[in-house]
Amino acid sequence: MSLLAPVSAPSHDLPSLIDRATSMLSGAKSAAEVLEAREVAGLAYDVAKRAARLQRAKSAHDDLVAAAHRAQAHALEIEARAKRRLADEYDAAQARGEIKRNGGDRSSVEDHNTASAADLGMRRDEIHEARQIRDAEAADPGIVRRALDDRLERGEEPTRAALRKMVVDAAMRGLRPQRPASRRNPLYVPPTPEQAAWRHVTGTFRAFAEWASEGNLALARGGMRQAQDTPFHDLDANAIAQGSAAFTTIKEWFDAR
């Protein structure tokens, strides 16, 4: 794994750090490359966290603190995506017999040449957390992004601790036995993961369409103009571009029917 470049000017380097982590994760072909993307995302989170604290210490305008918090959320989302991939990579390696089942202490002769979690640069608690994030997303698609957005909307800092609590709660809900069908609706069948994901998409579109009145869009356009000279505005522009690309893809599904 290559060494990460030092960060000299956090407020200037933060957007490029987040873009770098996103690009690295998208192009990752191995567990080692996913690990490196996770490290860069973690570094971006730490830089954003320091930037937010510095702005608060300077009694800076709320917009500057909010911008740093949004950068933290971006970094945490990328880090969570990397962890989900690592959980899949790790479990697949275990299934192939490349990693010892209990994490790898090589206590027996047959395990001597089997890799351990430490050999891969991961602690066992990190593997556990990665699995929780993966399982939480399976149980409640989009939970990571919604948890981060909820913190931002309340003006609260999106931290790893807060995200971990939301993720653990979602993962535990997914582990609970399915409730029996309602007596009022005996034909009720819980949605499949695919159906749940589609409902998340349609719910997002519906909520935005209901909000996007001419008045609200005019306000948003004014806010965009005011935000153009603020730090991390490029991160918001990138997020909008990525969302637009996803919306275009979904529209193409309908056109291709």
Q: How far is CA 112 from CA 46, 84, 105, 117, in A?
A: 37, 28, 9, 13
Q: How far apart are CA 117 and CA 49, in angstroms?
A: 29
Q: Which residue has the higher pLDDT, 69 or 193?
A: 69
Q: How far apart are CA 111 and CA 143, in angstroms?
A: 37
Provide the pLDDT for residue 106.
46
Provide the pLDDT for residue 181.
45
Angle, alpha carbons 153-138-28 (nearest 5°):
90
199 assigned to some structural domain: no
| Contact (CB, 8 A) for 90 and 122 | yes
pLDDT band at 115 (very low <50, low <70, confident <90, very high): low
Q: How far apart are CA 117 and CA 99, in angstroms?
A: 7
184 assigned to some structural domain: no
127 assigned to some structural domain: yes
Average pLDDT over the chain, rounded to whole? 78
Sign of the C-alpha dihedral computed for residues 142, 145, 147 and 153 taken in this order:
negative
140 assigned to some structural domain: yes
Q: Which residue has the higher pLDDT, 2 or 41?
A: 41
246 assigned to some structural domain: no
Q: How far apart are CA 222 and CA 23, in angstroms?
A: 31
Range of the domain at 151: 10-101+118-175
pTM over 0.75: no
203 assigned to some structural domain: no
Say how many domains are in the chain. 1
The pLDDT tens digits of the residues spanning 178-224 come to 454 444 445 556 667 777 778 777 777 777 787 888 888 888 888 88
Provide the pLDDT for residue 225.
85
210 assigned to some structural domain: no
- Determine the average pLDDT of the residues in 64-87: 90
| Contact (CB, 8 A) for 71 and 13 | no
Q: How far apart are CA 137 and CA 14, in angstroms?
A: 27
233 assigned to some structural domain: no
Q: Count of CB atoms within 10 A of residue 10's CB?
A: 18
